[in-house]
Amino acid sequence: MRRLLKKIPQYLREEYQLTATVVFTAFFSLVLILVSIPFSHNAWFELGTGAAFGYTASFFVIGLLVIVFSKRMMYITRNKISMNYLQYVLWNLAEVVVICLLYTMFSIRGDAAGVIRIQDPSFTNIFFNALLYCFTSLVIPYVIAGMYFAIIDKNNTIRLMNYSDTVSDEPPKTRNEKKITIFDNRGTMSLSVSLTNLYFIESDDNYIKVWYTDSESKLQNYFLRCRLKTVEESFMGSSLVRCHRKYIVNIDKVKALSKGTGGYTIIMNNPEIPQLPVSKTYEQTVLDRCSVN
């Protein structure tokens, strides 16, 4: 039960994941309809040029639009409303129920109009037959898509490593100095930088910008496709601390905290870097880490 109340990973509500899930679900459902038509005694789906085929196509298109709208709402609210696993499951089950109700409405009206024929046109019979079909055509592709993106996210997780033989533009350091190695969403290593040179990481939707100093102590930035949430989860326990929905700072590079009417801001020990805001959500964590350091 505690697992169900845990917040879902952010990638489950990102645009690319939701879009891929809708496309895969539509393809899976279409194939299932084509395969099941000759063997189904409960569904009225038909192919051809008749009125029943038009009814079939209309149901498929409207059902797909319902799912697209639902996923779009899930994406739009991702930064405003947090969602745990239980809420995520209930949201997806609600989609199934809505599609079942839509199928039931189509069935009853189509039977009454003489477009299709149903042996038992009762609401209960049609709804529960639809429920079984929708669980097959919606829940299965949802689960498969979720598992696929979970594997992708795990493979793309940014890792904190000890690198002693990494080739870079930095002067030789001590053997055990920690570096972060950043992988993009394709799993390709994009940047390896020493924690002593890293200042902060800035988020821009599905991209991040890593700010660091090179071997000549010049402030540089590196832009790549990766989520800030992945950085936060991967570097727990390190000197990298989330201070805002857009920023993660290296707490070892913080010069001071400034408190104003709008809350705290972080002053880094590099004059080229502007003050970074601290949101209420992360304020106590930042204060605790600064007091320790």
pLDDT at 108: 85
DSSP code of residue 69: H
pLDDT at 39: 53
pLDDT at 187: 60
CB 222 within 8 A of CB 216: no
Domains annotated on the chain, with CATH:
10-154 (no CATH), 159-292 (2.40.50.1020)
Q: How far apart are the first and last CA of the chain?
A: 37
pLDDT at 12: 86
Amino acid at 167: V
CA-only gyration radius of the chain, Å: 26
- Compute the C-alpha angle 6/248/261, nearest 5°: 100
pLDDT at 165: 39
Over residues 15-25, the pLDDT tens digits come to: 888 999 999 99
- The mean pLDDT values, 10 residues at a time, for the chain of 293 residues are 79 86 91 68 55 78 93 89 91 94 87 76 86 88 89 60 41 56 65 87 85 90 82 81 94 92 92 94 90 67
> Please, what sign has the CA dihedral across residues 145, 147, 152, 153?
positive
- The secondary structure element, H or E, covering residue 277 is strand 276-277
Residue whose C-alpha is closest to residue 201's, from 230, 162, 171, 167? 230
Half-sphere exposure of 200 (CA within 13 A, CB side): 26
**Can you tell me the distance from the alpha carbon of 100 to that of 133, in angstroms, rounded to the nearest whole number?**
9
Residues 6+ apart with CB under 8 A from 115: 51, 52, 55
Q: What are the phi and psi torsion angles at 220 (to 5°)?
A: -125, 165
Over residues 52-95, the pLDDT tens digits come to: 677 778 888 999 999 999 999 999 998 788 899 999 999 999 99
pLDDT at 205: 73
pLDDT at 70: 95
Strands (E), 137-230: 159-162, 178-183, 189-194, 198-204, 207-213, 219-225
